[in-house]
Chains A and B, each alone.
Chain A
Amino acid sequence: MRIFDCDAAFGRGTTPLPGELETADELVAELDHCGIEQALVWHRDARERSAGQGNARMAALKGHLRLHRSCTVMPYTSRETFTEAELFEYLQMEDIRAVRAFPLTHCYLLDTISCGDLLGLLSAYRVPLFVPLGEFHNQWQGVYNLMRDFPHLTLVLTETGCWGQDRYFRPLIRNFPRFFLSTNRFETAGQLKSFVNDLGYERLLFGSGLPFNNPGGYITLLARADISDEARQAIAYDNLVYLLGEVAL
């Protein structure tokens, strides 16, 4: 099973973790241990210090061909980061095909009023936006509002919680073809098989959650789930490749 991880981080954060991956080399060593071929990566500074500092840290990934950069975005309202035009020029120039947002930590609302231009452009260029569930104000209601207002946005929800949240996310899967889930914290017994049987496998992306989560659980689950090999490989690798290939910068 080839694995492309959509959600791995490195760097030293504010709070010491039981398992630290401070450098890109350490992250690669752990990916090797787990048999993960490639990863879409962010730096902990992007969430815990500032978006700009985190994005600057991504330079450390140059030379690591298996690690793909993602850029952390914020609205331009306070003039602290890229304008929308600058952002898309930067993404194109650096060949960055995914962005992340941490609105709760960075104190803004991921909505039409605060981020309308940004979200509109991400939708138009099909750039996937990765956001942890816990970073939405009002949690699931925030996700619902965002997808209602930007139905063409490619949203990948990460860290969706370990306690079978299907009643929340299945309506989003059914109503919004560009809504995706990371398997990071997809831990409920029988949940993966049930999801694939009912809704297909196209909207699930393997995510490790490193260095916060132990990837081994999600790998073992995927390897052992009672689903087709086609579904297994799509979730582990192909769906993310397809998503990144759709980006039209």
Chain B
Amino acid sequence: MNLRDAFLTGGGCPVIDAHAHMGPFRSIYLPEAGRDSMVAGMERAGVEAIIVSPHDALFGDTREGNAQMLEAVQACPGRIYGYCTIHPGYPRETAGQLDTYLHQAGVVGVKIHPASHEYPVDGPNYAPVMERLEAEGGLLLSHTWGSEGTCGARKMRAIAEKYPNIRLLLGHSCYGAWAEAIALAKDFPNVHLELTAAAHVYGLIEWMCREAGSRKVVFGTDYPWFDPAVYIGFVTFAHIDEEAMRNILYTNARGLLDEQLAKRK
């Protein structure tokens, strides 16, 4: 049975979701937003692990959200990993949040959202984060959207050039600015395309694999926003070979995770 049909009938291969959240969100009906229902949803869809930044870390008091993240990581070891979220609007808290969370077991990187936090990704308040991740070869998931703005492809290219040692996940693959995002992944060894929101676009996964290679495409869903089953289907119905599907669904994220976990031993 091929991988597509296996997923349709309850089988498949291991899956890691490198872009997940947790908890309710103001403008979206999210029936699976709680931690327990998310884990149940992971079981149902065949998702082995997720890396989360709770909504409260992104859209409320970042400190509370990061505490929720650690609680979830510790409650579900090996199933839930965490990103420490940094809010550039509170720069005096940055060092403390990084010191508190970044070397906890199961906390594997940093999440930033320059659009919601209305602060450019190349601004000085993000520099301490970038410098630390650059020094450690750390993992960064940044929201990215379009070509311009606070975190469009143009600014992300500047970040990739300045900090080549950061393992950079382009969250949403600079939605809409596909060619620029794909070029970034192609040009920089440590830049990866992440599929949240992007994967619904017919033909896009094929384009990413063709130009940047399937080793540079990482599965993500904004879970509990998007259903893992939907996103798995976007990958398994794409016109790519099964090795590419497995790279996207699991192998690439596994490699990034394992690299970070090894540093915390």
Binding site for B on A (CB under 8 A): 17-20, 33-34, 162-167, 185, 187-194, 209-221, 223-226
In this complex, what residue of A is CB-closest to B237?
A: A216
Closest approach, in angstroms, between the C-beta of B151 and any C-beta of chain A? Answer: 19
Question: A191 to B202, Cβ gap below 8 A?
Answer: no
Question: A189 to B202, Cβ gap below 8 A?
Answer: no
Question: B202 to A18, Cβ gap below 8 A?
Answer: yes
Interface residues of B, count at CB 8 A? 45
Closest approach, in angstroms, between the C-beta of B9 and any C-beta of chain A? Answer: 8
B187 contacts the other chain (CB 8 A) = no
A19-B204, A187-B230, A188-B225 known; A217 vs B30 contact (CB < 8 Å): no
CA distance in complex: A46, B24 (Å) = 40
In this complex, what residue of B is CB-closest to A193?
A: B31
A190-B32, A223-B8 known; A162 vs B204 contact (CB < 8 Å): no
Binds A, one of B55-63, B83-91, B141-149, B193-201: B193-201
Chain B residues lying within 8 Å of A210, measured Cβ to Cβ, are 202
Question: A188 to B30, Cβ gap below 8 A?
Answer: yes
Taking A216-B4, A224-B229 as known contacts, 10 extra A-B pairs with beta carbons closer than 8 A to each other, sorted by chain A number, are A17-B201, A17-B202, A189-B227, A191-B227, A212-B201, A214-B203, A217-B233, A220-B8, A220-B229, A224-B8
B105 contacts the other chain (CB 8 A) = no
A217-B234, A219-B237 known; A19 vs B200 contact (CB < 8 Å): no
B231 contacts the other chain (CB 8 A) = yes
A-B pairs with beta carbons under 8 Å apart, 25 shown:
A19-B201, A19-B202, A33-B239, A187-B230, A188-B224, A188-B226, A190-B37, A191-B227, A209-B200, A211-B202, A213-B201, A213-B202, A214-B233, A215-B202, A217-B229, A217-B230, A217-B237, A218-B233, A219-B233, A220-B230, A220-B232, A221-B227, A221-B229, A224-B7, A224-B229
Chain A residues lying within 8 Å of B203, measured Cβ to Cβ, are 17-20, 211, 214
Chain A residues lying within 8 Å of B200, measured Cβ to Cβ, are 162, 185, 187, 209, 213-214, 217
Question: How many cross-chain pairs have Cβ atoms below 8 Å apart between A and B?
Answer: 138
CA distance in complex: A214, B8 (Å) = 15
Chain A residues lying within 8 Å of B250, measured Cβ to Cβ, are none
A187-B200, A217-B230 known; A224 vs B237 contact (CB < 8 Å): no
CA distance in complex: A211, B30 (Å) = 27
Chain B residues lying within 8 Å of A162, measured Cβ to Cβ, are 197, 200, 225-226
Cβ-defined partner of B228 (8 Å) among A165, A189, A191, A209: A189
Cβ-defined partner of B206 (8 Å) among A19, A211, A223, A224: A19
Question: B29 to A165, Cβ gap below 8 A?
Answer: yes
Question: A190 to B224, Cβ gap below 8 A?
Answer: yes
Question: A216 to B234, Cβ gap below 8 A?
Answer: yes
Chain B residues lying within 8 Å of A215, measured Cβ to Cβ, are 202, 237
Name which of B204, B226, B230 has the most chain A CB atoms within 10 A of its CB: B230
Closest approach, in angstroms, between the C-beta of B230 and any C-beta of chain A? Answer: 4
Chain B residues lying within 8 Å of A191, measured Cβ to Cβ, are 29, 31, 227
Question: B32 to A214, Cβ gap below 8 A?
Answer: no
